A and B are shown apart, each in its own frame.
Chain A
Amino acid sequence: MIDQTDHRDPPATLLDIISPYLTKPGPGPLRADADLVKLGLDSLGVVSILTDVEDAFGVEFPDETLNMTTLETPSALWSVVVGLLDCAKRDSK
């Protein structure tokens, strides 16, 4: 069950997926509101992250989510994942 807390705070699993694809990571742990483009995310990284997230969370990103808005920040990505998980849950009912 995913609640509002889940929606606001990306889990550590998600941050662990994103971090290796940042070519200019800042000091300290990755923040939920970090600007991923500024941290050196590139287009290849976008796709790699989405693929890894699909595998980790069992979701499939629609083509229209394959953009930088989805990956603006870890929180933005997490909200898309939560939305996809919600849809999957509704579909299964």
Chain B
Amino acid sequence: MAGATSMLASRLEQFASSRPHSSAIITTSSHYTYKTVLDQARMITRQLKGLPQSTRVLLLASEKPEDLIISFVAVNLAGLIPCFANPALDESSQSNARRTLRPEVVITDGFRVAKNSSAADLKMRVTRCPYGTNHAAYVGTSSGTTGLPKHTLASTPGMMEFVEWAMREFGFTCDDRWALVASPWTDMGLANIWLALSSGAALIPMWSPTDRAFFIRRARDFGITVCRTLPRLIDVARRDRKSGGPLMRLRILAFGGDYLTWGQVGVARKIAPQAEMINTYGTAETSGFVSYYRIPHHDEGIFPGGTVPIGSPAPHVALHAIREGRDGSQEIRFSGRNLPVGAIPFQGYDERLWDEICRGRWIRPTIRDSGDLGFCADGLWHLTGRADRQAKTSNGNWVNLDAVEKALARVTGTPCLSIAHKGSIYALVLGSNGRCPQDDSEHSVRIQSPDIDTIVQCKVIKCLQLPLSIAGKPDYERCRRIVEAAITKRIEDP
């Protein structure tokens, strides 16, 4: 049964043999050595042997991080594909309402194994992976804050290559103590689990949904040396003035998952004066990062704007796109970097430059295109495009541009097309109708959904003909070019 998926398990077996009493997971109430993690995982693996041969994907939905990690190892040992999902996904925010994930088997709290009725959606997505399920390390699910939850498949060769590279690049060792601050079923949490356990370090879950300031206190108590987290943790830590002195043992503090401001860097320096700080970027849902920036320790006079760069692509990085209706992926490359330009960009990023995809996304916009489906295989990082047309208006909130068009069409009485562009939503409307809003005006539309109504501001551009393809479908690329041209014209001829 075991195959390429067992590479993490192999490393754990190695540590359990050579350093059986080394700490693997430390919680407030329990202490797991590498040996106890492996022993517990093997017990669960025995249960999994009873599953039908056709079983490939198991959903891990434990509330307790340590249970989740041990289940992860167990499923890995069994040569199956663990899939991680937030157990609260069904009940969480409004945008998670239409959840699609239906895995074959669920491992919940206390390692209870429950069969589920259907694997249709997830199985379909996994088998569509061009590198085959034999290479799958795990499947992560996105939070769904941008709409339908998405599934990200990380390949074992890709993850192991990433781990080996990161250990060399950042000097991670078995003496490190990793804080697991990101929730363990997120892309960031999963990468941290892999990095910590693959390097023989101790992993200390300190994710608390109710008490973010929990981090500072626990990080000091447990002598945390490495932490990779969302920048907003720093905002919380800034307010927690009762948390005591600085974290002197923290030697690497990495950020990812959102834009990082220089102000946050300053707060982080106060919290961890000895730490090297690294800003990382992994396109949404990739488990790890594809570019990084070592933040200089002295930054007086050098920071020009509000956000910290995300640096250059990590070595061996490639981005691939999967488009609807195609088998396999096609590589995307970017001009001027180690990723030269290729023919098939991934959806939502057509004809954009690397800087636009990376740094541009990290500048605080009002509206941003959101969501990608990423995975890595054969040591390369990949990114697959999304098929829907969502624009993120803020964290946890999004609008579907199709709904925007429908709402506008009701107002104007004519078809409309809309795109998200540089922080705004632009609507192309036919100018021949008397009900059409004025050109260059801001128009509010109400988007109704079963969960929540959203008011969206659209910038209106009148046109005599909507850009359609030969097949009569909306041509959003031309739409984008029209918007660009209109913006340029306004700048030149205000």
Q: Which residues of A approach B to under 8 Å, CB–CB?
A: 23-24, 37-48, 50, 63, 66-70
Q: Which of B261, B263, B266, B303 contacts A37 (CB 8 A)?
A: B303
* Residues on the A chain within 8 Å of B267, using CB: 47, 66
Asked if B262 and A67 make an inter-chain contact with CB atoms under 8 angstroms apart, the answer reads yes
- B interface residues, tally (CB under 8 Å): 20
Q: A23-B300, A37-B301 are in contact. List 9 more A-B contacts (CB 8 A).
A: A42-B298, A43-B269, A43-B299, A43-B303, A44-B269, A45-B300, A47-B270, A50-B263, A67-B262
- Alpha-carbon distance between A42 and B264 when the two chains are bound, in angstroms: 12
25 residue pairs of the A-B complex, CB under 8 angstroms, read A37-B304, A39-B301, A42-B299, A42-B301, A43-B262, A43-B265, A44-B269, A44-B270, A45-B266, A46-B266, A47-B238, A47-B266, A47-B267, A48-B266, A48-B270, A50-B263, A66-B235, A66-B261, A66-B264, A66-B266, A67-B261, A67-B306, A68-B263, A68-B306, A69-B306
Instruction: Please give me the 6 A-B residue pairs with the lowest Cβ-Cβ distance, nearest first.
Output: A66-B263, A43-B266, A47-B266, A42-B300, A67-B306, A43-B265
Q: Which residues of B approach A to under 8 Å, CB–CB?
A: 232, 235, 238, 261-267, 269-270, 298-301, 303-306
B351 to chain A, nearest CB (A): 31
Asked if A40 and B306 make an inter-chain contact with CB atoms under 8 angstroms apart, the answer reads no
Q: Which of B232, B269, B298, B300 contacts A47 (CB 8 A)?
A: B269
- Alpha-carbon distance between A56 and B147 when the two chains are bound, in angstroms: 45
* Residues on the B chain within 8 Å of A39, using CB: 301
- Alpha-carbon distance between A25 and B326 when the two chains are bound, in angstroms: 61
| A-B contacts, CB under 8 A, total | 65
Asked if B300 and A68 make an inter-chain contact with CB atoms under 8 angstroms apart, the answer reads no
- Alpha-carbon distance between A56 and B89 when the two chains are bound, in angstroms: 44
* Residues on the B chain within 8 Å of A37, using CB: 301, 303-304
With a 10 A CB-CB cut-off, give which of A24, A40, A63, A69 has the most chain B CB atoms.
A63
* Residues on the A chain within 8 Å of B238, using CB: 47, 63, 66
* Residues on the A chain within 8 Å of B305, using CB: 68
* Residues on the A chain within 8 Å of B264, using CB: 66
* Residues on the B chain within 8 Å of A40, using CB: 300-301
**Residue of B whose beta carbon sits closest to that of A37:** B301
* Residues on the A chain within 8 Å of B232, using CB: 63
* Residues on the A chain within 8 Å of B299, using CB: 42-43
B217 to chain A, nearest CB (A): 19
Asked if B235 and A46 make an inter-chain contact with CB atoms under 8 angstroms apart, the answer reads no
- Alpha-carbon distance between A46 and B269 when the two chains are bound, in angstroms: 11
- Alpha-carbon distance between A42 and B262 when the two chains are bound, in angstroms: 9
- Alpha-carbon distance between A70 and B267 when the two chains are bound, in angstroms: 15
B267 to chain A, nearest CB (A): 5
Asked if A68 and B262 make an inter-chain contact with CB atoms under 8 angstroms apart, the answer reads yes
B151 to chain A, nearest CB (A): 32
Asked if A38 and B270 make an inter-chain contact with CB atoms under 8 angstroms apart, the answer reads no
With a 10 A CB-CB cut-off, give which of B262, B266, B298, B303 has the most chain A CB atoms.
B266
* Residues on the B chain within 8 Å of A70, using CB: 263
A63 to chain B, nearest CB (A): 5
**Residue of B whose beta carbon sits closest to that of A39:** B301
B413 to chain A, nearest CB (A): 40
- Alpha-carbon distance between A26 and B418 when the two chains are bound, in angstroms: 51
- Alpha-carbon distance between A69 and B261 when the two chains are bound, in angstroms: 11
B468 to chain A, nearest CB (A): 41
* Residues on the B chain within 8 Å of A44, using CB: 266, 269-270
Q: Which of A24, A50, A66, A68 contacts B303 (CB 8 A)?
A: A68
Q: Which of A23, A24, A38, A43 contacts B263 (CB 8 A)?
A: A43
Q: Which of A24, A66, A69 contacts B300 (CB 8 A)?
A: A24
Asked if A42 and B306 make an inter-chain contact with CB atoms under 8 angstroms apart, the answer reads no
B205 to chain A, nearest CB (A): 25
- Alpha-carbon distance between A75 and B363 when the two chains are bound, in angstroms: 25
**Residue of A whose beta carbon sits closest to that of B305:** A68
- Alpha-carbon distance between A1 and B261 when the two chains are bound, in angstroms: 33
